[in-house]
Structure 1
Amino acid sequence: MSAVFEQPSLAHRTWRVFQGFDGPLLFAIAWLGALGLVVMYSAGFDHGTRFVDHARNFALALGVMFVVAQVPPQRLMQVAVPLYTIGVALLIATALFGVTKKGATRWLNVGVVIQPSEMLKIAMPLMLAWWFQKREGQLRAADFGVAALILGLPVALILKQPDLGTSLLVAAAGLFVIFFAGLSWRLIVPVLAAGAIGIVAIVAFGDTICQEGVKWPGMRDYQKTRVCTLLDPTRDPLGKGFHILQGQIAIGSGGVTGKGFMQGTQTHLEFVPERTTDFVFAALSEEFGLLGVVVLVVGYLALIGRGLWIAGMGPTLFARLLAGAITLSLFTYAFVNMGMVSGILPVVGVPLPFISYGGTAMVTLGLGLGILMSVARARRLMPS
């Protein structure tokens, strides 16, 4: 007599695919994704196909998140070394054979033109989390030195392109892993103190060190210009300071409730530069006002808070370090973008997560969210 095996129903198989997805994290993603679509239509309805392309990119990011969420952290750990190695190799190839635009060699033609530094935003925390997982229970000071070398090589290659913004983001992602791995506060506090002293000195002596002909050691002229423009954007209001000044005007003119959906004058009269990409926060502030900014910030707080909770509950050291670094990287993106548009940080090419237009940035966001969801699922699906 042959055995009869009952086939699971389609509904049951679908449920198994989505089982373990974190509800609060999905809610925060839906909140920010919906806001991004509204803002992109309002700011970019007269800017070609930006809204349609943004919606497509967001759908692609959700697809990437869904696929990556199916991969358990143990499998993610297996791709850490290959992905990091490929990323560094591509950075070296970019330095040797890269495509140069506007004085920067950041792109590589491999049949299609790619920007290898974007890969390191994910590969770096993966690699360092893998390293500290391997050293769990036997961590020594020398292991932090090895971690610094793992971090320093690609950051130096990205700086050489030059691409200060991306290098800072990659460095931040790696430093978050090192911090969560147990780096001593005795090493962190002196660095923070030196940074604070440096900032105070730049502000205090800005008029002197920003004079023509004064060289800043270790920095290119355009990087010096960005900092000096931040200190006093009125030095060149129609040139280097234009972005900051117009962003501040747009933010201030929005008031509490904003000028209304699709009604931003600074935005649609082309005074706000890059209104659908790097400076989309200025467009949001003008059209939706302080209330719109609050809705955005609450969404980010929900996402970051849930991400840190998922990190804290991760089943392995690798999962905890990786999820924590990914979460704080998202915070860094949002903080740096809003800071530069508001005039409290230098202007760098950092997109606003979920809101800014950009395919590569959106796919990278989907990868990061997929990793968070993977860690959440691993905890939920663990046998009790």
Structure 2
Amino acid sequence: MKSIGKSCIMAALTVMAVCTGFVSCSDNDDAESTLNPAEKEVADTKKHDTALLLCTFGSTYNESLSVYDDIISDFKAEFPDVDIYLSFTSRTCINRVEASTGVSRYELDQWLKAIGNAGYKRVAVQSLHVIPGEEYLSLMNTDIKKYFMIQWFPNIDVLRGANLLASDEDTEAVADALYQHYKEKLADKKNIVLLMGHGNPDENYSANGKYSDMQQALQAKAANKNIFVGTVDYGEMLFWPNEVEENPADRITDTQVVRSQYPNCLYSQIMQYCDNEGLAPSDVNVYIAPFMSIAGDHAHNDLWGLEALAEHDNDNYYQNTVELNTNEYSWRERLTKIGFKVDTSFEAHPIGQAGADHGIAEGCGMKPLGSYPEIRRIWVNHLREQWDADAWENGTEYQ
């Protein structure tokens, strides 16, 4: 009996030890799963009492890395006594970027909580968005004001820097930089420059008007008025109007109907330009570029259609397969179908590497807005103006 009792006790202790081990491992796993990965980076970086968080939609493409590096360098030069961090506002980009580029990105709330918990006395937030659209308003009004300032860290002073095209003066400055860059091309009536912006699909956002303002400012500088701005999301400035993917039968196929009823879509505008100048599409060289901070997914796929360029670089494909009236095809593909000569030598992704997954780190010629030092300077100036005006505020003012 004693032997059996001793054995039972030992067995029970063993079971308890094993169970305790399981519970301990489970507790550790739970603790690790709730750790904020941005905490360590902020702790390792913190050298000053003021932090600057640069906020952008984000990208998974390798081409974006050098542009973001340039932007960060500009802000470091202007604000040397500030710790600078970069946040993506797109969770999709965050989830994919590490696998494609090897660079870790964190969600905005993780950055904000890590910065707030690190003991910073002041936090500046600078938007790298182009227009004051949905992403920008959500960032400033919800993430920064509602959560960071009011709910989480009401005693930390905050400074908010505006998006790129915050004023008419900003529009003029960006237009001047772009015009100077394309001035030589625009001097020839047989050249057209097309810029692709993003745009908000909800047409109630007045911010979409920034694209029309930009085109107007550019055409005021270009004597031939041969530069145009379109978008991938904003209805009135799509390449082709009313693109209904769910029901192909509803698509508009009559080009004359499009031109008469939708004169502001990109197709109508460039065809009208050709008519005015007595040019056939085959007479015209088209230069295309992203009107976005970086050359990411839209630049690669919606603008250039690089995967198709790698696989189908032949006239038969464009004439017999590509449709004008569907978003399935890029601007370049549809321009080629119409008969325009899309330039692939001035500023383009190398054709030999057109099929590269998530772009290439070096050698891409696409020139986004963030590649212009004078345009990057506008973002820097927005923050500098607020800084010099001592426009810091905190959440206690809203309690």
TM-score by length of 1: 0.30
Q: Which structure has the highest helix share of the two? A: 1
Q: Which has the larger radius of gyration?
A: 2
TM-score by length of 2: 0.30
